Amino acid sequence: ASRLRLSGLCFLLQVLTIILFAVFVRYSPESSPTLCSQQLNCSWRNQDWGFRHPRFRDIHLQVLLGFGLLVPFLSRYGLASATISILIVAFATQWAVLVQGFLYLFLHGKVYPHTFPLLPSMVSADFCTAAIIISTGAVVGRVNPAQMLLLTLLGVTLFALNEYILLSLMGVSDSGGSLTVHTFGAYFGLMVSRVLHQPHMDKREEQQDVGQQPEVFAVVGTMFLWIFWPSFTSATTARHNAEPWAALNTYFSLAASTLATFVLSPLLYEESTLRMVQIQDATLAGVAMMGMAGEMLVTPFGALIAGFLAGLIPPLGFRFLTPTLCYRLKIQDTCGVHNVHGLPGILGASLGTLLTALATADAYGGRLELVFPLVALGSRTVTDQALCQLCALPVTLLLATLGGFLTGAVLKMKGLRSPPEPRGPENTVLWEV
C-alpha cells in the first residue's frame, strides 16, 4: 500500500507539473545566450556563460551532495534518506521554478524563466530545495516518502512566498539565505515535527548507530560542504564586487567554526572523542551565520569571530537544548536542525542587522549600491534598512511556524500515515538493501 501510494502521488504531481509548464512556461527570446544586450556588457564566449554556468553547477552539486548526505549518519535510515533527498530535489526544482516564476517572472499570462547569464531561475530553485531538505532533517525516519512529497509541495510554496515578501516587498538583503533558507527551513520542519509528535519514537542519540558506512557518508558530505558552500553563499551577489567578500567570509567562518568544535566537544562529553558528524554540524552552523552577513563584513577577522561563535552552538545545543525540546516541547528533532540551522540562522540575521545599522559609504565604497541598493539610491536611510532587516526575522518565523503547522496537519491525515512500528520506518520498508 505504501509503494502504491508513493507511485500514485508521484504520477499525479508530475502530470500536474507538466500541464502547468505546458500552459504557462516559455523560454524568453531575450534569455538566449546569442542575444547579449549592451546593458549587460558581456561576451558569451569568453565571459558570462563560462563564469556563470559553473556557479550553477556548484550550487546544484551542493544541494545534491552536500545537503543530500547530511542525514545518512543515521545508519538505519541512511539509504532511504539519501535516496529521498534525490526525490525531493527532482520534484522541488520543478515546482520551485513554477511558483517563483508566478511571483517574479509572470508577464502577459506566461512565465519566462531566466536562463542567461546566471541561470537565476535554477539557482533560486536550488536555494528553495535546500530549505526543504533542511526541513526534512527534522522529521526523517518518522515520515514516509509520500508524506515527504507533500511536505515538499507545501514547503516550496511557503518558501517562495516568504522569499518574495522579504526580498521584493521589504527589500531585505539576504544573499546567502540566513533567513530564507536556514531559519525558514529549520523552523518549518520543527513545527511539522511537533504536529507529528510520536511519544514512542527513540531519541536522536539512540538512532545514531555507529558504523563505517554512516561515517563515510558524513565525511563525503562534509567535504562537499567545504568545497561548494562559498559558491552557494555568493551565488546571488553582484559579480566581481560583493561576491569575493561573501565567498571569503564564508570560508573563514567555516574554518573558525570547525576549530570551535575541536575546542568544545571534548569538554562536553566524557569519552572526549570527536565524530565526523560534529564537524559537519559546525560547518553548517558557520555558513548559516554568514548567509546574510557574508557580503556585509568588510574585515576577515569579523568572519572568524562570527564563525567561531557559531561553531559553539551545535555542541552546546545537542548537549543541553535538544533534550529540552524533546521532553518539554515535544519536538523530536531527528537531525538537530534547530542547533545546526535554526539558531545560527537567527544569529546570522541578527549580525546582518547590526552590520546594516553600522554601514557607511566610507566602509563600503562603491559596493554600497550593490549590498544596499535602496540606501545608495537615497530612498532609504541606513536606519530604515536595518529596521527592515530586523522585521524580516519575525516575518520568517511566523510564516515558517504557521506553514509548518498546516503542513503537519495535512501529513497527519489518516490515509497518509505509515503503519505504526516500534522503531519507525527503516531502510528495508521501501528499499532493497
Domain assignment of residue 422, yes or no: no
State mean pLDDT over 77-99: 83
Q: Is residue 432 part of a domain?
A: no
Phi and psi at residue 69, to the nearest 5°: -105, 25
Please determine, for residue 422, whether its predicted confidence score (pLDDT) is greater than 50.
no
Q: CATH number of the domain at 286, please.
A: 1.10.3430.10
Residue 268: inside a domain? yes
Which has the higher per-residue pLDDT, 246 or 90? 90
In a domain, 35, yes or no: no
pLDDT recorded at residue 135:
92
Q: 88 in a domain, yes or no? A: yes
Q: Which one, of 341, 393, 282, 417, lies nearest residue 132 by Cα?
A: 341
Quote the distance between the C-alpha of residue 156 and its chain's center.
11
* Statement: residue 80 has pLDDT above 70: no
d(CA 247, CA 259): 19
The pTM is what?
Answer: 0.86
Which residues neighbour 163 within 8 Å (Cβ) at sequence distance 6 or greater?
100, 124, 128, 180
Nearest to 91 by CA among 142, 151, 3, 143: 151
At 408 the pLDDT is: 93
Tell me the pLDDT band of 39, cut-offs 50, 70 and 90.
Answer: very low
> In this structure, is residue 47 part of a structural domain?
no
Is residue 370 in some structural domain?
Answer: yes
Given the DSSP bridges, would you call strands 110-111 and 106-107 parallel, antiparallel or unpaired? antiparallel
Query: E strands of 31-150, at which residues?
Result: 106-107, 110-111
Predicted local confidence at residue 195, as pLDDT: 92
Counting the structural domains of the chain, the total is 1
Region 159-168: mean pLDDT is 93
Q: Is 31 exposed, middle or buried (0-12, 13-18, 19+ CB in 10 A)?
A: middle
Average pLDDT over residues 156-168: 94
Q: Is residue 364 part of a domain?
A: yes
pLDDT recorded at residue 105 = 79
Q: What is the DSSP letter of 422?
A: S
For residue 333, give Cα distances in angstroms to 252, 253, 336.
28, 25, 5
Name the percent of the chain in helix, strand, coil, to the closest 5: 70, 0, 30
d(CA 158, CA 152): 10
Give the integer Cα–Cα distance in Å for 407 and 399: 12
Most confidently modeled range among 5-19, 51-65, 240-254: 5-19
d(CA 54, CA 363): 31
Domain assignment of residue 275, given as a range? 56-200+216-412
241 with 235: CB under 8 angstroms?
A: no
Q: What average pLDDT does the chain have?
A: 79
pLDDT in tens, 356-381: 888 877 777 767 777 887 887 778 88
pLDDT higher than threshold 90 for residue 183: yes
Q: How many Cβ atoms from other residues are within 10 Å of residue 406's Cβ?
A: 15
